[in-house]
Structure 1
Amino acid sequence: MRNAYQVLRGETRVTAQKTIEYFSYYLLVLGACLVFAPALMAAFILLPPPADNNILFVGFLVLVLAYYYWRMARDTNTAFFQATVIGRLGLFLATLIWVVFAGLAANYLVILAIDAAGALWTANALKRQGDAGFKFV
């Protein structure tokens, strides 16, 4: 049984499987907010409320991704874990480029910073487990 002292000292480690499972719960909450409370979600990142219902579609896609992440975590699919690191960091980098060069609202970086932090957490867990060999194909 872990206690808070062990966690703070870094004596206990979270597996890559757990990082993906926790990330699936984050996606579940994010998707539910986008589907059921899009105005609240927009206010959270200081954007105006969505003018149309397209956000509902995006929210449902996030819910589907949440299921994929949860399912892959349950199956301990290490190849999927490695792919998510590349995908999540790539999405953050692409969004950063769009903010700088295409005028996208910087507020999106708030949500994607959470994604990038999760990707780094997963990458660190994979490295500790000896599974850090990333495969692009």
Structure 2
Amino acid sequence: MSKSAFSVQAFGVYIIALGLGLVFVPNLLLGLFRMPAANEVWIRVLGVVVMNIGILYVVAARANAVPVFRATVYGRPAVLAWFAAFVLLGLAPPMLLLFGAVEVAGALWTWWALRAEQRASQRVYPASRIDPRYDTKM
């Protein structure tokens, strides 16, 4: 498994765990982050959606779906931007920014891994290292 695939898979596992927490113990999870308790079904609905996104990340990682990895590099930081807007508008507590920060950290990890993999694939080796017919020592 490539480093970029591993980063997406690890993030997918985190997202699945977060989704499961929102489905089964939403108020415990919310309380840990000093967020108000939720008594409506919507927090659990969100948990199901989050969990399914995590499953998609894990499946994409196992399939080495590089275009999906690239898409997450752009999409995940947008989460922080949206969460910041919600906080600035007074719609959410500042602790929500922690979730956005985790998204950005995951996106940066994937970006660095993709960049390293791209650089490695573009390295040019002397012909003698690839084909022994060009070895000058023979």
TM-score, normalising length: structure 2: 0.80
Per-residue CA distance 1:55-96 (angstroms, 9 max, x = gap): 010000011101100100000000000000100011112221
Any stretches of 5+ residues in structure 2 without a counterpart? 120-138
Any stretches of 5+ residues in structure 1 without a counterpart? 1-13, 132-137
Corresponding residue for residue 59 of structure 1:
47
Q: Which has the larger radius of gyration?
A: 2
User: Matched residue pairs, number?
Assistant: 117
Query: Counterparts of 1:71 and 1:30 in 2: how far apart (Å)?
Result: 17
Query: Counterparts of 2:83 and 2:43 in 1: how far apart (Å)?
Result: 18
Q: Percent identity?
A: 29
Query: Counterparts of 1:113 and 1:46 in 2: how far apart (Å)?
Result: 16
Query: Counterparts of 1:74 and 1:42 in 2: how far apart (Å)?
Result: 31
Corresponding residue for residue 87 of structure 1:
75
Aligned structure 1 segments of 4 or more residues deviating by more than 2 angstroms: none
Instruction: Give the one of 26, 46, 69 matched to 2:14.
Output: 26
Aligned alpha-carbon RMSD (Å): 1.3
- Tell me, what secondary structure is at the counterpart of 1:16? helix
Query: Counterparts of 2:100 and 2:55 in 1: how far apart (Å)?
Result: 19
Q: Map of 1:1-137 to 2, 5 A cutoff?
A: 15-100=3-88, 102-103=89-90, 104-130=92-118
